[in-house]
Amino acid sequence: MSTTWEFRKGACKEYELLLEDYLNRALGSAETAAAEQHLRACAPCRAAFDNAAASARLMRLAGPSEGPGPAFARTVMARIRAAEDRVADRMGVWQPLVRFGWRFAASATLVLGVLVTYDAGWVRPAQRDLNGTRVTAMTDIFAPDPGKAPASRDEVLMMEAEVTHGN
Amino acid sequence: MAASAAALTLPLDRKARREEDRELVRLSQSGTESAFEELVRRHQQRVFALVGGILRRPEDVEDVAQQVFLKAFLGIKRFDQRAAFSTWLYKIAVNECWDYLRKKKVRPLVYEADLSDEQVSRLDGIVSAERPPEGPNTRAEARELLERMLAALPEQDRQLLVLKEMEGFSVQELAEILDLNVNTVKVRLFRARGRIMETYRRRADAQSKAAGVAAAQKKG
């Protein structure tokens, strides 16, 4: 490779994809022929392709980074178990509180249900008469006592006199 | 490792492995820890490669890789197997790498994008040879030079190139992991390849011109 190479800014845009596939030997025979034909005819593309091929060679030579040691999987599993234990411990501290919370919520729901049922009047049948009409539970203090109602005009006058003169 | 990576690229083998992965995932979801451990063994190499390819900090790779598998374990019950387990796992790895870099407020390790005259000469020997000499020294040398050349690239292009050429990920895999179109990945790879050689070519040209001037002066 000559060091008097003149760098040009890239290949023809419409050929970049084809040349990348050509570099990776991922083309069929017809496309390979088309790529080769273009490379023969186009100097910037040829230069770009030489560049790409050289860098690919260099990168393959550099090789992959180091892999994990033989104990890696065991270390990962140990870390996972430790994390699970931590979660279990954390749950252990809060578990009684969580259980109490659930019980409290269940009791509260039950009590609320009973109260709502009571308020709906299911447990107060005495407040309804046999015909289903509603009767008032309170007595009217201003209503006349039927036992003390005057029977004649004289009795009315007598009652008036009692009220006016105080007994 | 290179042999196992090559084996992974065989379509039939991949299909069989994917089926085995599905079964292991099902077992893991039902609480079988040994099945998850097997998944770790099967994918640790590639997760390491992916994390290493993004972070370029060997000292941090193991810790982040462990974190990736821990997250996968915690989330495996929610994994619906619509995508391959490997794709799902690699996405976790990419996100974990970016989280890690953000939390640590560091950039992936990059060198100065410049080469000395000596480095250019060494690189010329490596790049121009049709079959470059292989060995630990050549590899270490190529790696060092490459790190400098990669510094000239934007972050995502650098990752694409490293994952494709050095860590053995396919274009399809890269597109899935990084949520990019396959053709976009190919074009970006092609451009990135050209760009990393730019530093080298410029230096090589300058060196050649200087040598020419020196020779002319000697003659004169």
| Residue B208 to residue A19, Cβ atoms within 8 A | no
| Residue A48 to residue B190, Cβ atoms within 8 A | yes
CA distance A29 to chain B (A): 19
Q: How many domains does chain A have?
A: 1
Average pLDDT of every residue of chain A? 79
Q: Structure pTM?
A: 0.65
Find the closest chain A residue to B46 by CA distance. A67
Instruction: Write the CATH number for B191.
Output: 1.10.10.10
Looking at the fold, whether B80 and B149 belong to one and the same domain comes out as no
3-state secondary structure B19-73: HHHHHHHHHHHCCCHHHHHHHHHHHHHHHHHHHHHHHCCHHHHHHHHHHHHHHHH
User: Does any domain span residue A36?
Assistant: yes
User: Does any domain span residue B206?
Assistant: yes
Looking at the fold, whether B171 and B215 belong to one and the same domain comes out as yes
Q: How many domains does chain B have?
A: 2
Residue A92 CA to residue B164 CA, distance in Å, equals 47
User: Does any domain span residue A85?
Assistant: no
How confident is the model over B76-108, as pLDDT tens digits? 999 998 889 999 999 999 999 989 988 887 655
Looking at the fold, whether B55 and B128 belong to one and the same domain comes out as no
Looking at residue B6, what is its pLDDT?
43
Looking at residue A129, what is its pLDDT?
54
Looking at the fold, whether B99 and B122 belong to one and the same domain comes out as no
Average pLDDT of every residue of chain B? 81
Contact between B96 and B55 (Cβ < 8 Å): no
User: Does any domain span residue A42?
Assistant: yes
User: Which residue range forms the structural domain that includes residue A52?
Assistant: 13-62
Boundary-marking domain end, from B55, B81, B104:
B104
User: Does any domain span residue A17?
Assistant: yes
Looking at residue B212, what is its pLDDT?
74
Residue where the block lists tokens 């447990």? A123
pLDDT band per the 50, 70, 90 thresholds, residue B29: very high
Q: Which of B165, B164, B169 is nearest to B14 (CA)?
A: B169
User: Does any domain span residue A45?
Assistant: yes
Looking at residue B1, what is its pLDDT?
41
| Residue A59 to residue B161, Cβ atoms within 8 A | yes
Looking at the fold, whether B100 and B122 belong to one and the same domain comes out as no
Find the DSSP H helices in chain B.
2-8, 11-29, 33-55, 58-75, 85-104, 117-128, 136-150, 155-161, 171-177, 182-219
Burial code (b: 16+ CB inside 10 Å, e: under 16) for B162-172 equals bbbbbbbbbbe
User: Which residue range forms the structural domain that includes residue B24?
Assistant: 2-104
Q: Which of B34, B37, B101 is nearest to A72 (CA)?
A: B37
Residue type, position B39, single letter = L
| Residue B166 to residue A51, Cβ atoms within 8 A | no
User: Does any domain span residue B109?
Assistant: no
- Contacts of residue A153, defined as CB under 8 A and 6 or more positions apart, other chains included, come to none
Looking at residue B214, what is its pLDDT?
74
Mean pLDDT calculated for residue range A119-123: 71
3-state secondary structure A51-114: HHHHHHHHHHHHCCCCCCCCCHHHHHHHHHHHHHHHHHHHHHHHHHHHHHHHHHHHHHHHHHHH
Partner-chain residue, chosen from A21, A62, A75, that has the shortest CB–CB distance to B186: A21
Looking at the fold, whether B52 and B76 belong to one and the same domain comes out as yes
User: Does any domain span residue A144?
Assistant: no
| Residue B69 to residue A80, Cβ atoms within 8 A | yes
Looking at the fold, whether B67 and B151 belong to one and the same domain comes out as no
Looking at the fold, whether B95 and B171 belong to one and the same domain comes out as no
Contact between A20 and B187 (Cβ < 8 Å): yes
User: Does any domain span residue A157?
Assistant: no
User: Does any domain span residue A8?
Assistant: no
Q: Please report residues of A whose CB lies closer than 8 A to that of B149.
A: 55, 58
User: Does any domain span residue B111?
Assistant: no
Kindly tell me if the per-residue pLDDT of A83 is higher than 90: no
